Structure 1
Amino acid sequence: MKPPAVDDYLRLREESGLSARTRAEVENGIDGAWAAAHVIHVESGETVGMGRVISDGGWYFHIIDMAVLPGHQRKGIGDAVMTALLRLIHEHAPTASVSLLADPPGRRLYERHGFVDTAPASVGMRRA
């Protein structure tokens, strides 16, 4: 499993509503993930979904870049990507701590895969 090509990654982020990234950022970072998966639509050859995992390789695993093109949503693509990534994590580290930041559109998908809110015990933070 590998990440999509840079152009496909940029398009997936833009069209699925994720924040924009520069080509230089993507070229520098796309191969740095612990694991990645992407889905190609058989009939068109178009990359329609993706997800990546960043990790220390031992205990902490963080799922990022979950995206499916709007015209291909609600067809099981996000589920397939999440299942594949979680399977890899579990095979490598069965008791791993797996986290993600959930934007509202993805919450139902993440909840189906066992993710729960961490608040009020802990909350996600980022440096502005």
Structure 2
Amino acid sequence: MSPGLQDHYPLPEGYAFRAGVPDAETYCRLRRISGLTPRSLRAAQMGLPHTLYGVHVVYDADIVGMGRMIGDGALFIHFVDIAVDPAHHGHGIGSAIVGAIMRHIRSTIPAETYVSLMANGEAWRLYERFGFSNVLPDARGMALWIDSQ
């Protein structure tokens, strides 16, 4: 295991962290089965190499979870793609992924970094445990989807 990938949210026996992002096909599969908005293989192949830091979780030979951070590496960091295969829910994998990324941020990123994310559904409960808080009424999250098709 790479240094810094384990914290007070350990993975259960049989699961292991790997640094880096999964291949584009696995990335697309995990997004789809975990309930995140599906993304095209082409977009994944173009975007994943620009990840600042990512981790994925392996069970046997299968990748069953992932998470990554994007941004400029100093001023702004954004959490994306926190996804766990539903067959592996309830084992603390999501918490372990977020914990590993947070530890990486705290150990490598300079002070005054704004870390943000968009929490789908009840996922805000997970992120709150790591110190994230709702920014309303001071700010409102906004998004725009661009589809080249």
State the TM-score, normalized to the length of structure 1. Answer: 0.93
Q: Please list every run of 5 or more consecutive structure 2 residues that lacks an aligned counterpart in the other structure.
A: 1-18
Give secondary structure in 2 for the equivalent of 1:121: coil
Structure 1 residue 108 and structure 2 residue 130: aligned?
no
Contact 2:30–2:84 under 8 Å retained in 1: yes
Runs of 4+ in 1 over 4 A off after TM superposition: none
Separation of aligned partners in 2, 1:75 and 1:105: 17
Q: How does 1:46-85 map to 2 (within 5 A)?
A: 46-85=62-101
The structure whose RCO (Cα within 8 Å, separation 6+) is larger is 2
Which residue pairs with 2:8 in the alignment? none
Structure 1 residue 2 and structure 2 residue 35: aligned?
no
Q: Please list every run of 5 or more consecutive structure 1 residues that lacks an aligned counterpart in the other structure.
A: none
Separation of aligned partners in 2, 1:127 and 1:6: 23
Shift of residue 17, structure 1, vs aligned partner? 0.4
Separation of aligned partners in 2, 1:120 and 1:100: 16
Which residue pairs with 1:86 in the alignment? 102
User: Higher helix proportion, which one?
Assistant: 1
Which residue pairs with 1:99 in the alignment? 116
Contact 2:52–2:68 under 8 Å retained in 1: yes
State the TM-score, normalized to the length of structure 2. Answer: 0.80
Contact 2:74–2:110 under 8 Å retained in 1: no
Structure 1 residue 28 and structure 2 residue 54: aligned?
no
Identity percentage of aligned residues? 38
Q: Over aligned residues, Cα RMSD in angstroms?
A: 1.2
Separation of aligned partners in 2, 1:106 and 1:71: 17
Give secondary structure in 2 for the equivalent of 1:21: coil
Structure 1 residue 18 and structure 2 residue 36: aligned?
yes
Separation of aligned partners in 2, 1:19 and 1:100: 15
How many residues align? The count is 126
CA deviation profile, 1:62-117 (whole Å, cap 9, x unmatched):
00000001111121111111111111111122532111001113111111111110
